[in-house]
Structure 1
Amino acid sequence: MTLTEPAADLDTDAQVRANDRGHVFHSWSAQALIDPLPVAGGAGSTFWDYAGNSYLDFSSQLVNLNLGHQHPDLVAAIQEQAGRLATIQPALANDVRGDLARRISEVAPEGFSKVFFTNGGADANENAVRMARLVTGKRKVLSMYRSYHGNTSTAITLTGDPRRWANEPADGSVAHFFGPYAYRSAFHSSSPEQEAERALEHLEQTIVLEGASTIGAIILETVVGTNGVLIPPPGYLPGVRALCDKYGIVMIADEVMVGFGRVGEWFAFQAFDVVPDLITFAKGINSGYVPLGGVVISDRIASHFDTVSFPGGLTYSGHPLACAAGVATFEVFQRDGILERVRDLGDRVVAPRLAAMAAKHPSIGEVRGMGLFWAIELVRDRETREPLVPFNAAGADAAPVAAVAAACKKAGLWPFTHFNRVHVAPPLVITEDELVRGLDIIDAALDVADEYVS
Structure 2
Amino acid sequence: MQDAAKVKKDDLAYNLHSWSAQGALNPLVVTKAEGIYFWDADGKKYFDMSSQLVNMNIGHGHKKVIQAIKDQADKMAFMGPAYAFEAKSEAARKIIEVAPDNMGKVFFTNAGAEANENAIKIARMFTGRHKIFSRYRSYHGATYGAANLTGEPRRFASEPGIAGFVKFFDPYVYRAPFPFKDDADATKYYIGQLREQILYEGPQHVAAIFLETVTGSNGIIIPPEGYLKGVRDLCDEFGIVMVCDEVMAGWGRTGEWFAVNHWDVKPDIITFAKGSTCGYLPLGGTIVSKEIAAYFDDNVMYCGLTYNGHPMGCATACATIDVYRDEKLIENSKNLGKVLGSLLEDLKAKHPCVGDVRYIGLFSAVELVKDKETKEPIVPYGKDPEKIMKKILGMLQNEGFATYSHENILIVAPPLCITEAELREALAILDRVLDSADNMI
Q: TM-score range by the shorter chain?
A: over 0.9
Name which of 378, 384, 392 aligns with 2:382.
392
Distance in 2 between residues matched to 1:166 and 1:448, nearest whole Å: 35
Q: Superposition pairs for residues 242-281 of structure 1, below 5 Å? A: 242-281=233-272
What's the counterpart of residue 442 of structure 1?
430
8 Å CA contact retained: 1:145, 1:176: yes
1:112 equivalent in alignment to 2:103: yes
1:305 is paired with a residue whose SS is helix
Query: Are the aligned partners of 1:187 and 1:199 in contact in 2 as well (CA < 8 Å)?
Result: no
Indicate yes or no: 2:372 matched with 1:379: no
**In the TM superposition, what is the alpha-carbon distance from 1:325 to its structure 2 partner?**
1.1
- Any conservation in 1 of the 2:108–2:284 contact (CA below 8 Å)? yes
Is 1:177 aligned with 2:165?
no
Structure 2 segments unaligned to the other structure (5+ residues): none
Cα separation, 1, equivalents of 2:182 and 2:218: 21
Give the residue type in structure 1 aligned to 2:99: A
| Matching residue of 2:8 | 17
In the alignment, structure 1 residue 51 sits paired with structure 2 residue 51: no
Task: Write out per-residue CA displacement over residues 210-250 of structure 1, whole angstroms, 9 at most, x where no aligned residue.
Answer: 11111000000000001110010000000000000001100
Shift of 1:29: 1.5
Distance 1:40 1:395, change over 3 A: farther
Of the three residues 279, 283, 290, the one matched with 1:292 is: 283
Q: Which runs of structure 2 are paired with 1:348-427 in the superposition (5 Å)?
A: 349-396=339-386, 398-399=387-388, 401-427=389-415
Contact 2:102 2:266 in 1 (8 A): no
Correspondence 1:34-433 to 2 at 5 A = 34-186=25-177, 188-347=179-338, 349-396=339-386, 398-399=387-388, 401-433=389-421
Q: CA deviation at 1:379?
A: 0.8
| Amino acid in structure 1 at the alignment position of 2:429 | I
- Between the aligned partners of 2:4 and 2:265, the Cα distance in structure 1 is 49
What per-residue deviation string (whole Å, max 9, x for no partner) do you get for residues 166-212 of structure 1?
A: 21022221000001011101465343322111000110011011111
Deviations 1:93-132 (A, max 9, x none): 0101110100111111223121100000001001011011
SS at match of 2:3: helix
The answer to whether the 8 Å contact 1:182/1:191 transfers is no
Higher mean C-alpha displacement, 109-118 vs 229-238: 109-118
Specify the SS of the correspondent of 1:306. helix
* In structure 2, C-alpha distance between the alignment counterparts of 1:413 and 1:321, rounded to whole Å: 32
CA distance in 2, matches of 1:166, 1:113: 36
SS of 1:365's partner is: strand
Shift of 1:447: 0.6
Question: Contact 1:403–1:448 (CA<8 Å) still a contact in 2?
Answer: no
Given that 1:187 and 1:195 are in contact with CA atoms closer than 8 Å, whether structure 2 keeps it comes out as: no
- Aligned residues of 2:364 and 2:412 also touching (Cα < 8 A): yes
How far, CA to CA, are the matches of 1:446 and 1:154 in structure 2?
38
State the secondary structure of the residue aligned to 2:298.
coil
C-alpha distance in structure 2 between counterparts of 1:306 and 1:246, whole Å: 25
Q: Which amino acid aligns with 2:73?
A: A
- Does structure 2 conserve the Cα–Cα contact (< 8 Å) formed by 1:178 and 1:186? no
Deviation at 1:27, TM superposition (A): 1.5
Alignment RMSD (CA, Å): 1.2
Does the C-alpha gap of structure 1 residues 187 and 132 become closer, same or farther in structure 2, counting only changes over 3 Å? farther
Equivalenced residues, count: 441
TM-score using structure 2 length: 0.98
